[in-house]
Amino acid sequence: MKQDICAHCRQPFSRYRNRKNQDYCSKKECQRVRKAKWKREKIEKDAVFKTYNQQTNEDWHAKTPGYWKDYRKRNPEKTERNRILQRVRNQKRKKKAEKKIAKMGTPKVIAKVDVLKSNTHQAFNEFWLVPVIAKVDVLKAHILLIPDKSQRQSDTFF
């Protein structure tokens, strides 16, 4: 057996001799991540598997109505996180589409919303820091506005 580092939890683990391509340790969470990755790649490469997977999901939804509504009720934190990640994906998609339109020669429309401007006097809130480039997890931050004479200072706490 050879010592190796798990691709998910980064902990050392012993690789079995008969599994040369073992990148993940045997922890439940790491195996879940490995399977999810395998499935994602399989769906990307294999059209038949993709169709089969979609059909299976639809069947499951038909048999289990209200599951996701229930899930969102039970997991408000995860729901909020997913909502934000979806918003980021939508923005990326929108930007891509805008780039395409710009290439076609149509005038580009840029919408820019300044969050702090719209919330200058009560920036007492929770924010999710979402990395745009690196594929790492989102980070929840509490941003508090500390009022002083000029009402302009702010601080960030993690």
Q: Under rule CB under 5 A, how many of the chain's residues touch Zn ion?
A: 6
The one segment of 2-10, 46-54, 79-87, 122-130 that binds Zn ion by CB under 5 A: 2-10
* d(C-alpha 76, C-alpha 40), whole Å: 25
**CB of 6 or CB of 145, closer to Zn ion:** 6
Name the helix (H) or strand (E) containing 80: helix 76-103
CB of 33 to Zn ion, least distance (A): 8
Query: DSSP letters of 97-116?
Result: HHHHHHHTTPPP------HH
DSSP 134: S
By CB under 5 A, tell whether 22 contacts Zn ion.
no
3-class secondary structure, 58: helix
For Zn ion, give the closer residue by CB, 7 or 141.
Answer: 7
**Segment lying near Zn ion (by CB under 5 A), choices 17-25, 51-59, 62-70, 121-129:** 17-25
| Binding of residue 143 to Zn ion (CB under 5 A) | no
The answer to whether residues 158 and 141 touch, using CB atoms and an 8 Å cutoff, is yes
Residues near Zn ion, by CB under 5 A? 6, 8-9, 25, 27, 30
